[in-house]
Every structure is written in C-alpha cells, then in structure tokens.
C-alpha cells in the first residue's frame, strides 16, 4: 500500500498552491464582499446604523464606490435625501459679489476633473459648479467665499451631482467648514495653531526642527481648507480622504496633517493609512470618529 501524504498531481508532484499575488487578490475580494454586505445591512436597518457606516468609512478601503458614497455620505452628515433642494439656477449669479472670483477659480480647476473627460462635458460641470457655490453663498449671507472652497465643492459635485451635492455642501459649509468662511482668517489661523501641539506629541523631533526653522503652520493652509483636494493629484485618494473626514471629528484634517508631515519629512516612503491617526479630543457634545489612535 502506498504511504500517507497530501494530494498529488499526475506525475507524483504535489498540488500547486495559488501564487501569492492571487491569494492576496482573493483575500481582498473577500474583505470587499464582507464590507459591501456590512454597509448594505447598516443602510437597510431601522434605524440606519450610522456608527457602522462611520466604521466602514474610516476602515481600510473606505466606502469603495461612488454609488455607495451617494448613499452613505448623506447619512454621515444627516442630510435628508427625500427633501433635496432644487438644482441651482443661473439666477444665483445676478449681482453676486463673489461671482467673478468664483468664476476665475473654477476656470482654473481643470485638473480637478477626471482625465480624458471631454472638454464639453467638463465645461458643463464647471458651469454647474459655479451655480452650486453661489447658491450656497446666496442662501447663507453670513458665509464668506474663500479660494479653495471650490476644491471641496467640485468633489461633491462629481460624486453626488447637483442636488445631493448642494445639500452636502450646505451642511459642510455650516458645520465642518464654518470657521473657514468667516470674514477674516482669524478662526482659520486659530485652527492651524493646533498643529504644533499635536506634532509635539506625535513627533518631538519634527516639532523642534520646525520651531528652529521658523516655518510656522501656513504650509498646511491649503491642506486644511480644501481637505487636501488642492494638493493631491489622484481623485481616488481624495475620495478616500473625504470618506475619512466625513465620518470623523471636524478637526480630523489637522490631526491627519500631523501624521503626514512627520512621515514625509523624517521617513520618506509609503505614508501611513488614514486608519492610523491621532485621535482629536471632541468639543463638548461632539462625536469622535472610530479612527484608531497611534500606539
């Protein structure tokens, strides 16, 4: 009788295992299916399991697709998708003090649109973007336009379209972005000043270096006020961050800067995943994201 052992192929060779690359693809595919099921169950539960959706948004891979984002982003911002505003019309442009500046900024934003998009299609979206921005500003006279606001607006427009994008932008403008839309930059500068104490905790070496170099915190201004949309060139990477920020404490873009900066300066190479970031301390009554703190 033949001895025991594992299965053998014809010719006496042992059964081949799938190559490492295929095994990794199979594992990722399995994780993706599990996340899709988790998100579906959270969306269809009564009430909607918002905390589960937050966890999905900040975990590896984020929300995976724009179709899912159109369902989950409104839940994260408490936007009622059954009572969306009408599409902004051209009337919002009439005699608006910010029209010229918004038009200039939008006309310079061609790189924010997908590569390969036809010029005619991009121009239509740019016109929609102008109306989207001016509609929010006209509805909320207390809000002041800043250069970089269009970088956030275009991301919402590309993913969610005019009506849902308008509702999402309005909620962000009156909450997460509110301090950036004051008449002066005082509140924005105040938020930027959080960066150095966070750096001191996360990387004393970099903190001390930056103090000696007297670089200040202005380098992070465009990161903060555009949610990194102005400085990143990959739209999927931008969307991954928006998943993360929409599910997190409003100050998370500052904490994210504290992770990216020391890694980029002191340890060139791959950046840490967004799931591993320092945890912001919540303001009174505010919720904190399930983002795991650094060890």
Task: Kindly provide the b/e burial profile for residues 137-174, where b requires at least 16 CB atoms within 10 angstroms of the residue's own CB.
Answer: bbeeeebebbebbbbbbbbbbbbbebebbbbbbbbbbe
Model pLDDT for residues 196-248, shown as the tens digit of each residue? 999 888 888 888 888 888 878 888 899 999 999 999 989 999 999 999 999 99
**Residue 281: which region, alpha, beta or left (left: phi > 0; alpha: psi -120 to 50)?**
beta
> For the chain, what are the domain ranges?
90-170
Model pLDDT for residues 140-171, shown as the tens digit of each residue? 999 999 999 999 999 999 999 999 999 999 99
pLDDT of 261 reads 59
**pLDDT score of 50 more than 60:** yes
Q: Which CATH class is domain 90-170?
A: mainly alpha
Judge whether 252 and 291 are in contact, CB under 8 Å: yes
15 confidence band (pLDDT: 50, 70, 90): low
- Token pair listed for 22: 């295929």
pTM: 0.80
pLDDT of 203 reads 82
**pLDDT score of 282 more than 60:** no
Model pLDDT for residues 130-148, shown as the tens digit of each residue? 999 999 999 999 999 999 9
pLDDT of 182 reads 97
């Amino acid at each position: 009788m033949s001895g025991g052992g594992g299965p053998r192929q014809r010719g006496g060779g042992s059964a081949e295992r799938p190559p490492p690359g295929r095994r990794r693809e199979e594992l990722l595919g399995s994780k993706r299916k599990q996340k899709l099921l988790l998100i579906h169950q959270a969306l269809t539960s009564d009430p909607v399991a918002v905390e589960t959706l937050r966890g999905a948004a900040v975990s590896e891979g984020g929300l995976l697709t724009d179709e899912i984002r159109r369902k989950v982003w409104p839940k994260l911002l408490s936007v009622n998708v059954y009572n969306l505003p009408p599409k902004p019309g051209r009337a919002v442009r009439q005699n608006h003090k910010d029209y010229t500046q918004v038009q200039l900024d939008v006309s310079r934003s061609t790189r924010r649109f997908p590569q390969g998009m036809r010029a005619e299609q991009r121009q239509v979206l740019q016109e929609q973007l102008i109306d989207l921005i001016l509609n929010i500003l006209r509805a909320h006279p207390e809000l002041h336009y800043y250069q970089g606001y269009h970088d956030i607006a275009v991301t919402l427009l590309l993913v969610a379209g005019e009506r849902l994008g308008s509702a999402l932008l309005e909620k962000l403008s009156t909450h997460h972005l509110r301090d950036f839309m004051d008449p002066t930059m005082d509140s924005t500068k105040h938020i930027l000043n959080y960066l150095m104490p966070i750096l001191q905790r996360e990387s004393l070496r970099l903190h001390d270096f930056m103090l000696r170099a007297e670089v200040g915190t202005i380098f992070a201004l465009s990161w903060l006020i555009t949610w990194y949309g102005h400085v990143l060139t990959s739209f999927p990477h931008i969307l991954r961050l928006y998943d993360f920020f929409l599910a997190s404490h409003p100050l998370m873009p500052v904490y994210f800067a504290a992770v990216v900066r020391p890694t980029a300066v002191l340890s060139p190479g791959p950046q840490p995943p967004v799931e591993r970031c320092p945890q912001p301390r919540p303001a009174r009554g505010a919720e904190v994201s399930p983002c795991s703190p650094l060890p």
